[in-house]
Amino acid sequence: MQAAAQATLDFLKLYWAPLLCGVVIVAVLPLIVGYIVLVERKLMADMQARLGPMRVGPHGLLQPIADAVKLLIKEDIIPDDADKLVFWLAPVFSVGAALLAIAGLAFGPAFQIAQDLDIGLLFVVGISALGIFGIVLGGWASNSHYSLMGALRSSAQLVSYETAAGMALVCGLLFAGTLNIKSIVLAQGTQCVWFGFLAPVAFFTYLVASIAETNRAPFDLPEAESELVAGYMTEFSGFRWSLYFLAEYVNMIVVASVATTLFLGGWLRPFANIRWLNFLDLLPPLLMIGVAGYCVLRMPKQPTRVQQMFMLAVAGLCLVVGFVLATPVLLPFVKPSLKDAVAPFYAGIHGGFWFIFKVSAYIYFFMWLRFTIPRYRFDQLMRLGWHFLIPLSIINVLVVGVALIVGSYFNLQGWALLLATTPAAIVALVAALIILSLDQKNQARQESTAATDFYAG
């Protein structure tokens, strides 16, 4: 008994910081996801010339909380013919995999749960790929045709696009030379260039593949509501459904974070190592203070007193964040002796800001695509994956490898490496065009024989 207590104590002593981080992340993520959904609805409304949610809180700012409460108190229905155990397990598996993948990510130089994991990026990619079991098992356990069809589509889609995504990541890793997430970001700092510029084709491939992997429009075939009701989640309701929903959005955050880490410089500020651009550090606090000012300006226009107070509270919050961001930048000017003491705070806070900023921008781009491009047909989706993205990404790995060798031959580093990689990107693009035209010819020939796809419904 005492030995067990000792073991628990040892465990806590060693791992209290990551445990705390993990608990905080698991507790906060649903809220963040709720607000991502709100932003998405607002953006969709804006693109369709509507207002979106307006009733709960000023401009619908409390809508996520109302949604969460609604989902929690909804009746939990399990179909009679469902496989109860698997039905229970599937959403848990989905959400567990998505949350576990977060553990490998670095949100700043200090904030990482699995610190110094040597296989960093592989861990994130591999663990988040396990979420597919939640989808497949959920679809199977529901014992319904729509669900099974959605699950089959989903597994086929994920398996095919994982290859392209993996090849794109290989391209980025060629520049980094390590799998460790922290070292990847630091490599972009020392080379003074984000790998997204060095490997634009890989970035594009990863972008497309990551949309497909998170089952988002235009690739949301597994839950195409106009064909399959809701795909694999058709039979899920209430809390179980919200678990799936949570997993989907957490997966979005994960792929956005992977793209940010590998292609967009992670937590680094733009032009991180250029001294005379250091005034860019003032951007984050100014942005937050600007948002606060906007909130104060809009405050008198709110219809009720409660809403005015709420708006003021939002402004206050933004102001606090702005000041927190500004202090480590401005303090060294007031008291130069404090410069070293402030440095870690500066790195942590500003790193977190830039990381979240880039991830948000990536997710925002996802939303744009969702409201702009109509859904693909299933055979088109498969064709895009197997006939275009996978060959393109394999060719790109080859071309980038050659470019790297040429670059090291002429001793090119940092920005100068662009001299080698830009022609490589052009070669890859030409290859892509050739692949596309070949594929189109092939498709035209096949369509005359009227091939129908097995999973197309």
Partner 1 sequence: MLDKVIFYFFAAIAVGSAALMVTRRNAVHSAIFLIATLLATAGIFLQLRAEFIFIVQIILYVGGIMVLFIFVIMLVNLDVALHQIKFARQKWVALIVTLALSAQVGLLFWTMGKMPGQGFPILTAAPADRLPPQNAEAVARSLFSSYLLPFEIASVLLLVAMIGAVVMAKKRT
**Given 71, 122, 291, 402, the residue binding partner 1 (CB under 8 A):** 122
Q: Kindly tell me which of 83 and 281 has the beta carbon lying closer to partner 1.
A: 83
**Given 136, 164, 168, 201, the residue binding partner 1 (CB under 8 A):** 136
**Given 33, 82, 151, 254, the residue binding partner 1 (CB under 8 A):** 151
Count of chain residues binding partner 1 (CB under 8 A): 36
Q: Kindly tell me which of 46 and 118 has the beta carbon lying closer to partner 1.
A: 118
**Given 87, 107, 123, 197, the residue binding partner 1 (CB under 8 A):** 123
Q: Kindly tell me which of 171 and 367 has the beta carbon lying closer to partner 1.
A: 171
Least distance in Å: CB of 3 to partner 1? Answer: 6
Q: Is 87 in the site for partner 1 (CB under 8 A)?
A: no
**Given 159, 274, 280, 373, the residue binding partner 1 (CB under 8 A):** 159
3-state secondary structure the chain: CHHHHHHHHHHHHHHHHHHHHHHHHHHHHHHHHHHHHHHHHHHHHHHCCCCCCCCCCHHHCCHHHHHHHHHHHCCCCCCCCCCHHHHHHHHHHHHHHHHHHHCCCECCCCCECCCCCCCHHHHHHHHHHCHHHHHHHHHHHCCCHHHHHHHHHHHHHHHHHHHHHHHHHHHHHHHHCCCCHHHHHHHHHHCCCCHHHHCHHHHHHHHHHHHHHCCCCCCCHHHCHHHHCCHHHCCCCHHHHHHHHHHHHHHHHHHHHHHHHHHCCCCCCCCCCCHHHHHHHHHHHHHHHHHHHHHHHHHHHCCCHHHHHHHHHHHHHHHHHHHHHHHHHHHHHHCHHHHHHHHHHHHHHHHHHHHHHHHHHHHHHHHHHHHHCCCCCHHHHHHHHHHHHHHHHHHHHHHHHHHHHHHHHCCCCHHHHHHHHHHHHHHHHHHHHHHHHHHHHHHHHHHHCCCCCHHHC
Which residues, numbered 45-84, are part of the site for partner 1 (CB under 8 A)?
A: 83
**Region from 42-50, 151-159, 306-314, 365-373 binding partner 1, contact rule CB under 8 A:** 151-159
Q: Is 119 in the site for partner 1 (CB under 8 A)?
A: yes
Q: Is 152 in the site for partner 1 (CB under 8 A)?
A: yes
Which residues, numbered 172-201, are part of the site for partner 1 (CB under 8 A)?
A: 178-179
**Region from 16-24, 149-157, 221-229, 358-366 binding partner 1, contact rule CB under 8 A:** 149-157
**Residues that bind partner 1 in the complex, under the rule CB under 8 A:** 3-4, 6-7, 10-11, 14, 83, 85-86, 89, 117-119, 122-123, 125-127, 129-130, 132-133, 136-137, 140, 148, 151-152, 155-156, 158-159, 178-179, 451
